[in-house]
Amino acid sequence: MTNHSNKEIRSELDRMLSGDLYHASDKELTARALKGRLLMEKYNQTSMVDREERAEILEEMLGSVGEGCWIETPIYFDYGSNTKIGKNFYANHGCTLLDVAPITIGDNVMFAPNVSLYTAGHPIDSAVRQSGLEFGKAITIGNGCWIGGGAIINPGITVGDNAIVASGAVVTKDVPENVIVAGNPARVLREINADDKAYWEALQAEYHASKELEQAE
């Protein structure tokens, strides 16, 4: 007879965060989800002028959050506590972060309206799916990324540094750094290159020169 006495008993939380099958109705998970969603509800009811209160709620709700983070309302999370956000993050209205698995967002990232990050997945087999078992796969957004309006990032995806995801794109494969992707399913349109840098830096210099002239007059 096999001895199971030394076998480790894993919590549903551990299973969920590890990307294994888990049951979302677990008491610990439902308590964590309720806490996060009550904080989310509180955040969504704040005024945009209540910057200090908003920052305090984000600190309590999220796994971690860097300086200079601004999230427009409404924002939607599964847990909130499984999401880590870097410095100078901006999210426009209506974004959804289903963070049953970890979501990690780097520094200087911008989300347009209605961006959705879905870590949650369900079994393909109907009977297993109906049993209530599900799973999640972590999503990572690198530094300096811009995610366009209505874009969807699917479970398990990594978006490389400085990449741009076009509006309406459905990302089903990892995105390399320094590229623009678009479409459904999203594909690489082109690399972001030295010509892009020169063009936008010239416009930036022109802007600053015009401001200096205005101030001199």
Q: What would the mean pLDDT of 91-98 be, rounded to a whole number? A: 98
Options 4, 23, 93, 122, the catalytic residue: 122
pLDDT at 36: 97
Q: What is the amino acid identity at position 145?
A: C
Identify the structural domains of the chain with CATH numbers, from first to last: 12-216 (2.160.10.10)
Does the pLDDT value for residue 189 go beyond 80? yes
Q: For 7-35, what is each residue's pLDDT tens digit? A: 688 999 999 999 999 999 999 999 999 99
Q: For 32-90, what is each residue's pLDDT tens digit? A: 999 999 999 999 999 999 999 999 999 999 999 999 999 999 999 999 999 999 999 99
**Cβ neighbours of residue 84 closer than 8 Å, sequence gap 6 or more:** 62, 63, 64, 65, 102, 103, 104, 105
> What's the length of the chain?
217
Q: How far apart are the first and last CA of the chain?
A: 91
User: pTM for this structure?
Assistant: 0.93
pLDDT at 1: 45
Q: For 115-157, what is each residue's pLDDT tens digit? A: 999 999 999 999 999 999 999 999 999 999 999 999 999 999 9
- Measure CA 164 to chain center: 14
Does the pLDDT value for residue 3 go beyond 70? no
**Residue 185 preceded by cis peptide, ω within 30:** yes
pLDDT tier, 4 (very low <50, low <70, confident <90, very high otherwise): low
Q: How far apart are CA 207 and CA 62, in angstroms?
A: 37
Q: Is 122 among the residues known to form the active site?
A: yes
